[in-house]
Chain A
Amino acid sequence: MATTTYTGGQKQNYLNWKTTLASWLFTLDHKRIAILYLVSISIFFLLGGLAAGVVRAELATPKGDLLTSDVYNKMFSAHGIIMIFLFLIPSIPAVFGNFLLPLMIGARDVAFPRLNLLSWYVFMAGAACILIAILRGGIDTGWTFYTPYSSSFAKGEVSLAIVGIFLTGFSSIFTGINFLVTIHKMRAPGMTWFRLPLFVWAMYATSLIQVLGTPVVAITLLLVAVERTFRIGIFDPSLGGDPILFQHLFWFYSHPAVYIMILPAMGVISEVISAFSKRRVFGYHFVAFSSLAIAIIGFLVWGHHMYTSGQSMYAGIVFSFLTWIVAIPSAIKTFNWMATIWKGRVHWDTPMLYALGFMGLFVIGGLTGLHLAALATNVHLTDTYFVVAHFHYVMVGGAIMGYLAALHFWWPKMTGRMYPEGWGKLAALLVFVGFNLTFFPQFLLGYMGMPRRYHSYPEEWAVLNLLSTAGSTVLGLGYLLPVIYLTWSLKYGTVVTERNPWGARGLEWELVDTPPDPHNFERTPIVTRPAYDYNHPEEPTGFVPKPRPVVVGGKDG
């Protein structure tokens, strides 16, 4: 990587310094790997969105007329599996974590660049398995692979999909290990733990979950595959097994996995809100530690998915109590963001619109989570559209809003082009309106008792369902617009050459070219100020020291 091949007139950057296909497929540059992830997960997002569109189209009318119940099952399973394992889990960590972590902490790259590239290949191999399984007849288990749906009664290619999820899981573990080490060991001089941007704290908490949780789901799904192959009754009650054990092991990972999706989005929101309010994030330490608290307490609440499954009610009481506790760090974050905006000079650019949207929708998603965490209301609401609406408010209203905020905020840094602001605002508005129109009616439907995962329903729920389907078309349009205008902006967008188009704080804005140099910084920077030091605009967060002739056998030699 020491020599460059770029000879054009424009300044060398990580995009133009080598342009062959091989230079992309075998790159060890964290920024290019981020782009590889961005392209692949964008395709998966569109595929998953398509499946959601088909599901909503079926539910537009009460009769199951568009799809048979079988195809409907496969369709919502495809939607869930693709969106969770191929989009949400890698979305912010693999794309923005990869791109930004080394830039934010002042490093040349992540700690293990080869492992980083390997994780993308493993991810793509897993994705290929999942997509082939879906194309070869589909999976009708839902994204949770509950036994005995996935063992005794499954139709289709469950085993192949399990192999795929096993692989994407290990890709996620590799990313987690890489980021943990990067944050521990690759920080520039002066970048102390409490000078780290909050996005880095969020990524640290996320990586912890990835490393601690993912192996459990991998082994659990492996056991399902073993059960299917050898007819051993690991989870099958008719063979002596206990299907609830599957749920225990599955949710040990999959509840924290929700925080894999939402924590990085929270990190993004901290960055965006302080950048567009021009204020230091209020209660920095509280926000930082609340990320860790969410990651740790998040491992203690998994049983709230299983109140009605046959789990002991005494365990249910404990899980319910702990679930209420996990609301505290989330609330700390929300109140601190609000305090950050309070009396700030708010700039209403697109990323800020998404961030504000995130806050509103996340609050609704989080508070309805408490309805579900309470034992008694849960019995009424279990497996209804209330649950569907709740987790879509968190994952779509939360995680994807955060993802879009990040995409717009760092787009000029990543590409050197600005997205069209007017279109951006329109899309943000469409997403917000479309989202609420799609999912708010589902709260009402769930409250009235409409169960999830059925392709037909009684007439009296027709109006709300139609409303929801109508909203989903608006939402779909809202997602399609950024795909179009961001692609358009790659060629026709305003060229950004200044380092810091937003006037934001942080090493990636102050010391890194737009788009970044392949080596990020000329030399390892030295950090002198805490993050978000908007009160001292004249003092840079850090500086790149001047070169000095190399002294052979210097003091460190």
Chain B
Amino acid sequence: MSIQELGKQSATLEYTGEVHHHADGILGEQFETLEQQNTAYLIGMWAFIVQEVLFFGAIFTAYAVYRFKYVLEFTLAHHELSVPIGTLNTFVLLFSSYTMARAVRAAMQNRHTKQAFYLLLTFLFAGVFMVNKYFEYGAKFEHHLFPNAYYSAHEIVEHAKAKGELRVVVEDGREMYELGKTIRGEFKPFKKVSPEEFEQRTKLFFGFYFVMTGLHGLHVLVGMIVIAILIGRALIDHMKNKPIADYMPVEMTGLYWHLVDIVWIFLFPLLYLIGR
């Protein structure tokens, strides 16, 4: 019966909506039907994802502004990041997104062991990602590229000199860096900055690098914790031989996990690839 038809009925209409007893402990008290509950959770998760998009979006905006302003300095700093590690991490995360999608599919079919298996795979891929990140961060610390008081642009300068993208000139008795490009053995300068400015601006790049990948890594970590809990739940469902389990937690975690993947899909080219 449509809502309009209901509305036209008299006030003596009988209530026919008492169907929530079928839902077997899954249905929350505030909901009428499982359908309503599931779509409510989905919309809630999407609203959360919108929030996350703007959360990361704000920092992408800030990054974009400074990359626009300090293209040459940022480009040289880009070169200190390892593309192979970045590519490996992208590969791992994309694959984990796939296994997550398969886990959601298994959950919808109430195949608990299959679901646990794919969740475990996702968890392991996420683990590989984090271990990679750990070594990557460690290397940055070692080379004084972590943007704290010990930060030094020394290596960036040396690498850039070797590639012919930076030249030290002396102007009024002060050292200055000329940023440019060597084309057919001839250095073409685009911009002149003082060593302090160069250090500040590359430090800014690494500041963004650590804040962005750090926040992303935090999201991966939270995802891993939730996935671990879901693995446990799936195994319990399996042992109890539950014919039907609530697949919404897996589906929502899936949405979250894909979002984390999407953030990385943008982080990877913007930090590692462009300006190479």
Q: Which residue numbers of A lie inside 8 Å of B, CB to CB? A: 1-2, 107-113, 115, 173, 176-178, 180-181, 184-186, 189-190, 192, 211-216, 218-220, 222-223, 226, 230-234, 239-242, 245, 248-249, 252, 523-524, 526-528, 540, 543, 545-548, 550-557
Contacts and interface: CB of A to CB of B under 8 A. Distances in A.
B32 interface: yes
Contacts of A192: 3
Contact of B50 (A212, A524, A526): A212
Interface string B4-41: 00111001111111110110000011101100100110
B274 interface: no
Interface of B: 3, 6-8, 11-19, 21-22, 28-30, 32-33, 36, 39-40, 43-44, 47-48, 50-52, 54-59, 61-62, 65-66, 69-70, 147-149, 197, 200-201, 203-204, 207, 211
A219 B58 contact: yes
Nearest to A244: B65
Contacts of A215: 51-52, 54-55, 58
B18 A550 contact: yes
A94 B13 CA distance: 35
B29 A108 contact: yes
A555 B16 contact: yes
Give 10 nearest A-B pairs by CB, closest first. A545-B15, A232-B207, A215-B55, A109-B30, A240-B200, A556-B19, A185-B40, A216-B58, A219-B58, A177-B47
B172 to A, nearest CB: 21
Nearest to B29: A1
B149 A219 contact: no
B66 to A, nearest CB: 8
A111 B149 contact: no
A548 B14 CA distance: 7
7 contacts: A108-B29, A109-B30, A186-B40, A212-B50, A240-B204, A252-B58, A554-B18
B211 to A, nearest CB: 6
B178 to A, nearest CB: 18
Given A223-B62, A543-B11, A553-B22, 12 more contacts: A177-B44, A180-B47, A190-B3, A226-B211, A232-B207, A242-B69, A248-B61, A527-B7, A545-B15, A552-B21, A556-B17, A556-B19
Contacts of B149: 231
A507 B8 CA distance: 18
B55 A218 contact: yes
Nearest to B211: A226
Nearest to A229: B148
Contact of B33 (A111, A547, A556): A556
A526 B40 contact: no
Contacts of B59: 219, 223
Contacts of B148: 230-231
Contacts of B6: 189-190, 526, 528
A555 B17 CA distance: 9
A526 B7 contact: yes
A78 to B, nearest CB: 26
Contacts of A115: 44
B50 A111 contact: no
For A109, A233, A242, A547, the residue with the greatest tally of chain B CB atoms inside 10 Å of its CB is: A233
Contacts of A218: 55
Contacts of A239: 200, 203-204
Contact of A242 (B22, B65, B203): B65
A455 B36 CA distance: 57
Contact of A173 (B16, B51, B61, B65): B51
Contact of A245 (B30, B44, B50, B65): B65
B244 to A, nearest CB: 14
B30 A186 contact: yes
A554 B16 contact: yes
Nearest to B61: A249
A211 B47 contact: yes
Contacts of A178: 44
B19 A557 contact: yes
Nearest to A220: B58
Given A192-B3, A226-B211, A232-B147, A184 B50 contact: no
A215 B259 CA distance: 16
Contacts of B50: 211-212
Contact of A548 (B15, B28, B55, B197): B15
A406 B94 CA distance: 51
